[in-house]
Amino acid sequence: MQVNEIKEFRPKIVAFCCNWCSYAGADLAGTNRLNYPSDVKIIRVPCSCRVNPMFILRAFQRGADGVIICGCHPGDCHYTSGNYYARRRMTLLFSMLDYLGIEKERTRVEWVSAAEGAKFAATMNDFVETITKLGENKRLEDLRCKE
């Protein structure tokens, strides 16, 4: 009898965090030892408005299963208005991605302040759970650079 080993699905998740609020929020989650899955890898950017749609497309192209962007709460942006730009750009991008078959649940924008370590952890737990349920992201796979 042959048993196919079923490998547990581990999603790849890229989190872009702005330096001033969300990255600090992630640090706080660490300081408070608040657990969230190791599938989340954080990339530090100066501001959520630094996130170019290109980065997100690249992530999906390279096999990411979910992308989340975290910025300061509206009105709290270190650069006054960067998070508003991010919100507007991502709204457009996400609906386009949805059209391409990358479900809306795979992309998310969240506001996490430097004091919201718990929120950061909870958000990541929730996001990973959502993505795990959705399963592997197969779209754009054909475009993936084979190595």
User: Considering the complex, what minimum distance in angstroms separates the CB of residue 16 from another protein?
Assistant: 8
Pick between residue 2 and residue 31 the one whose CB is nearest to another protein.
Answer: 31
User: Considering the complex, what minimum distance in angstroms separates the CB of residue 1 from another protein?
Assistant: 29
Pick between residue 75 and residue 101 the one whose CB is nearest to another protein.
Answer: 75
Tokens of 114: 């430097």
Site of interaction with another protein (CB under 8 A)? 12, 14, 19, 23-24, 26-27, 29-31, 33-36, 38, 41-47, 49-55, 58-59, 62-64, 75-76, 78-82, 85, 89, 121
User: Considering the complex, what minimum distance in angstroms separates the CB of residue 120 from another protein?
Assistant: 10
